[in-house]
């Protein structure tokens, strides 16, 4: 019977990551509470295990080799999973209810995997999910009716700071079967103006600056509604990178349309949830889920669809 090769010790990976990030064996030793010689020995053991030189000394400190850089990204993921397993199994069962707000398109494109992993690890926590546009969610956050909410950048209630967890390009979307980009004025399907949608402002401002006349012929509270109108060949709309419905395509310079700015998505925490273990844990899952999706480790593309 063939024996399996030994696995990599997480402690060795942690020492490697700390040195690679801090550029110093001394700082890494201080972080883990060990001597410099002990940490140096851990790196030697790791390099012997993988048969590669992972770190080299430069005038600016210790830096990863090309193979070390390859390992660094994967070591971070392994350690995050290792820490999650230990924290989940050692902690007492988590209970309670977390009230999460999200635009419906974020819920569809980002959250299924994240919420499934959270529910698997913490089955006794109830999730109360509210789907509204960012303007409506901001009002509910202000009223204390939500613990956490995903919002499009620019919708944060006054005095409530959100953490940006993704940023990417806004792009034009339309039906390739209709030459709507040649219309004057351009027909657009955008979010309702009453929500103060940053996407709407960005699209209209870009067209104005480029000398294009435009008319918002359809208003929708959701991105799904805007896509529906675009599929019918009645208007152009905007979105950030996502899997477009069949019948829609990305548009831009080739169609004479001006470039659009970057847009962000933020995770907003209610001040009242401070110390709420279940809400804080879900926030951690959401942040990590977005990071992993952006890097492609879960097979997802960076998605931000909704205003």
pLDDT given for residue 6 in this prediction: 65
pLDDT given for residue 305 in this prediction: 35
pLDDT given for residue 56 in this prediction: 93
Distance CA 175, CA 250 (A): 9
Torsion angles phi and psi, residue 23, rounded to 5: 70, 15
Neighbours of 290 (CB within 10 A): 22
According to CATH, the superfamily of the domain at 96-151+272-295 is Periplasmic binding protein-like II (3.40.190.10)
Beta bridge partners of 264: 167
Bridge pairing between strands 148-152 and 96-102: parallel
Among 224, 114, 108, residue whose Cα is nearest residue 173? 224
Domain residues of the chain, as ranges? 10-90, 96-151+272-295, 171-260
Q: Which CATH number is correct for 10-90, 3.40.50.1580, 3.40.50.300, 1.10.300.10, 1.10.10.10? A: 1.10.10.10
- Positive or negative CA dihedral for 186, 187, 191, 192? positive
pLDDT given for residue 299 in this prediction: 39
Q: What share of the chain is helix, strand, coil (3-state, %, to 5)?
A: 45, 20, 35
Beta bridge partners of 186: 214
Query: What is the CA angle 240-244-250, rounded to 5?
Result: 65
Neighbours of 17 (CB within 10 A): 19
Domains 96-151+272-295 and 171-260 share a fold: yes
Per-residue pLDDT of the chain (307 residues; tens, 9 = 90+): 444 456 789 999 999 999 998 898 998 888 888 999 999 999 999 999 999 999 999 998 999 999 999 999 999 989 988 888 887 788 777 889 999 999 877 888 889 999 999 999 889 999 999 998 888 899 999 999 999 999 988 888 877 778 999 888 899 999 999 989 899 999 999 987 655 788 899 999 999 999 999 999 999 888 888 999 999 999 999 998 777 889 999 999 999 999 999 999 999 999 888 778 899 999 999 998 888 776 654 333 444 333 3
CATH of domain 171-260: 3.40.190.10
């Amino acid at each position: 019977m063939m024996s399996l090769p030994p696995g990599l010790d997480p402690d060795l990976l942690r020492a490697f990551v700390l040195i690679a990030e801090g550029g110093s064996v001394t700082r890494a030793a201080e972080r883990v509470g060990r001597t410099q010689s002990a940490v140096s020995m851990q790196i030697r053991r790791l390099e012997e295990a993988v048969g590669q030189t992972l770190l080299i000394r430069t005038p600016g400190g210790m830096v990863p080799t090309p193979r070390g850089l390859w390992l660094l990204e994967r070591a971070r993921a392994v350690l995050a999973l290792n820490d999650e397993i230990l924290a989940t199994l050692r902690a007492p069962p988590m209970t309670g209810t977390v009230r999460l707000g999200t635009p419906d398109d974020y819920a569809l494109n980002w959250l299924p995997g994240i919420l499934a992993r959270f529910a698997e690890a913490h089955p006794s926590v109830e999730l109360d999910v509210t789907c509204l546009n960012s303007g409506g969610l901001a009002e509910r956050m202000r009223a204390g009716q939500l613990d956490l909410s995903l919002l499009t950048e620019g919708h944060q209630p006054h005095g409530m700071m959100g953490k940006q967890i993704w940023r990417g390009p806004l792009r034009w979307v339309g039906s390739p079967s209709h030459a709507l980009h040649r219309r004057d004025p351009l027909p657009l399907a955008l979010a309702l103006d009453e929500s103060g949608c940053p996407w709407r402002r960005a699209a209209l401002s870009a067209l104005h600056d480029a000398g294009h006349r435009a008319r918002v012929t359809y208003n929708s509270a959701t991105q799904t509604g805007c896509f529906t109108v675009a599929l019918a060949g009645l208007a152009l709309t905007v979105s950030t990178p996502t899997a477009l419905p069949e019948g829609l395509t990305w548009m831009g310079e080739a169609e004479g349309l001006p470039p659009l700015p970057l847009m962000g998505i933020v995770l907003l925490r209610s001040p009242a949830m401070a110390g709420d273990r279940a809400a804080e844990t879900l926030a951690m899952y959401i942040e990590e889920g977005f990071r992993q999706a952006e890097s492609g480790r879960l097979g997802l593309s960076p998605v931000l669809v909704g205003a």
